[in-house]
Structure 1
Amino acid sequence: MQKSHPVLESQKFEPEVTYFEKVLMFGSLMVAPLFLPIVLWRFFQQYHKNYARGHQYQLLGALLGGMYLFILMYAFLITFSGLDDDQRTQQIITLAWKLGIAFIVPAAILTMVQSHHNSQFYKLAKEYEKQFYKGIFALEAIAAEVKQPLSRVREDLEYLLEHKSFQNGIIKDGVVLLDNGPTLDQLGMNVKASDRDKTMPKVVSCSGCGAETIIETDQPVECEYCGSVLNTA
């Protein structure tokens, strides 16, 4: 049985290559100049998404690799076709070195950039999980905690909640509902109970004279015996 390649932690949440992207990579190998604008359009269309950014650098790197091979094949079959075998081989080797600087070196740099963005998104995905463990499921609250725009948080979680390496769930009414987590009704009850606890009367002991006073508000009040300020905090 064929062994699967180990997946690095930073690549854990990387998007899978779609059929359309496979066509782009194959096309860049066969007719690179024709597919260049399509790949660039795809890159800028997807770049704003946190989860797709590293993946788009991977496609750009594949495009550069495809262009490198395309030019070499074109030169071998057409440009240098009139030369004898030794001259043809020598010209191809020289061209390969020159093109390697122009295409392969940038492709290697793009691979490092891809790894960097994948690592950043992996850390962000773990931050989302941390919010779930803290009992935070509302998108607005999660966005405030992870310091991301609300629209980005929604995009990220819509993607992650369907990913095989993340917890499964859905987003409903601005709240994340995990398959193994609390329901929307339970979350609503928790919020109501929390609000109710804030408004319930509390007995507070005065630090000045020791007298106990019932406070029915979260605003500071004066002790009726010594005038000290009392609050429920």
Structure 2
Amino acid sequence: MNGMGFQGQLAEQGGQPGSVLPKFDRTVFDYIIIALGYLLMPIGLVLALLRLLSSHYKNYRKGSNFNLLFHVFVGGFVEIVVLFMAEWINGKNSIGTTIIIFVMFALMLLLPAFIFGNLAAKGRYRFIQLTTVYLDLIVSKGITYIGSLSEISDQSESDVRRDILYLKDRGILEPHIIFNEGRQMEPIRTSSGFGSTPSQPQTQSQLPKSIRCSGCGAQNTVNPSQSKSCDYCGTTIAYF
């Protein structure tokens, strides 16, 4: 996918990275976990927890891991419904007993499923916001230094490297973009004006910064010595 192709696709689908990113990043193993969640809930739960423990440090996996747990708990409730419906049909339980059992297991399984579903949606939303910050810094502002991206986006350098590789794999970032270690360097003034030779690292106050909104928690890019209204809830965010 070339740069113009991606920009065109982004514009056609609403202008947000969420329109071209997968809803949840899933592998074959994830689909196996989901299937086991609906067939053998205890095994699916163990595998989902192992998946979370082994990959939750990756930003793009946070929503997907919570989504696996959502499916496992919903699957457990479906198994209970099928089991006790069969017993009611065979006359082993009364309709009253069956309803009480359904309500009890709904509280035990569907309530956690709702919580994990909410966490999954928030995890995906936050990664979309982070991707928006990356695109603004890399594509719009031309910042390709890992240290600067880490400082502005408030992510560790290892997180930035992983996120960049993922976005390249998904075609969100062009594979030919070269990223460098360290901080972005600013041009020095020559006799003919500003040259392209780097002199000293930019300080944090000279760079835009990604700041979390105190109102809704969304990431917003704020320019130095300025304030702006949150893109999502309108809360005023000051640069600090």
Unaligned 5+ runs, structure 2: 1-12, 193-199, 201-240
1:162 aligns with 2:169: yes
TM-score, normalised via structure 1 length:
0.64
What is aligned with 2:220? none
Task: Report Cα offsets for 1:86-128 as digits up to 9, x if no partner.
Answer: x444433221111111111221122222111211111111110
* TM-superposed deviation, 1:30: 0.9
What is the DSSP-based 3-state SS (H/G/I as helix, E as strand, rest coil) of the residue aligned with 1:107?
helix
1:149 aligns with 2:130: no
Question: Are the counterparts in 1 of residues 88 and 98 from structure 2 also a CA contact under 8 Å?
Answer: no
Task: Report Cα offsets for 1:20-51 as digits up to 9, x if no partner.
Answer: 11111111111111222111100121211111
Instruction: Name the amino acid aligned to 1:102.
Output: M
For residues 8 and 62 of structure 1, the distance between their equivalents in structure 2, rounded to whole angstroms, comes to: 30
* TM-superposed deviation, 1:157: 1.0
Instruction: Name the amino acid aligned to 1:36.
Output: L
Larger Rg computed on CA atoms: 1
Match of 2:111 among 102, 105, 115: 105
Count of matched residue pairs: 177
* TM-superposed deviation, 1:147: 1.7
TM-score, normalised via structure 2 length:
0.63
Give the aligned CA root-mean-square deviation in angstroms. 3.3
What is the DSSP-based 3-state SS (H/G/I as helix, E as strand, rest coil) of the residue aligned with 1:161?
helix
Unaligned 5+ runs, structure 1: 1-5, 176-189, 203-217, 219-233
What is aligned with 2:57? 48
What is aligned with 1:118? 124
Instruction: Name the amino acid aligned to 2:153.
Output: V
Instruction: Name the amino acid aligned to 2:46.
Output: P
What is aligned with 2:43? 34
Question: Are the counterparts in 2 of residues 55 and 114 from structure 1 also a CA contact under 8 Å?
Answer: yes
For residues 135 and 81 of structure 1, the distance between their equivalents in structure 2, rounded to whole angstroms, comes to: 65
Write the mapping of 1:1-233 to structure 2, written as runs, cut at 5 A. 11-12=18-19, 13=21, 14-77=23-86, 80=87, 84=91, 87-132=93-138, 133-164=140-171, 166-169=172-175, 172=178, 174=180, 194=187, 197-198=188-189, 200=190
For residues 201 and 9 of structure 1, the distance between their equivalents in structure 2, rounded to whole angstroms, comes to: 43
Question: Are the counterparts in 2 of residues 75 and 92 from structure 1 also a CA contact under 8 Å?
Answer: yes
* TM-superposed deviation, 1:167: 2.9
Identity score, percent: 18
Task: Report Cα offsets for 1:145-184 as digits up to 9, x if no partner.
Answer: 21210000011111112225x2332565637xxxxxxxxx
For residues 16 and 52 of structure 2, the distance between their equivalents in structure 1, rounded to whole angstroms, comes to: 24
For residues 54 and 135 of structure 2, the distance between their equivalents in structure 1, rounded to whole angstroms, comes to: 27
What is the DSSP-based 3-state SS (H/G/I as helix, E as strand, rest coil) of the residue aligned with 2:169?
coil
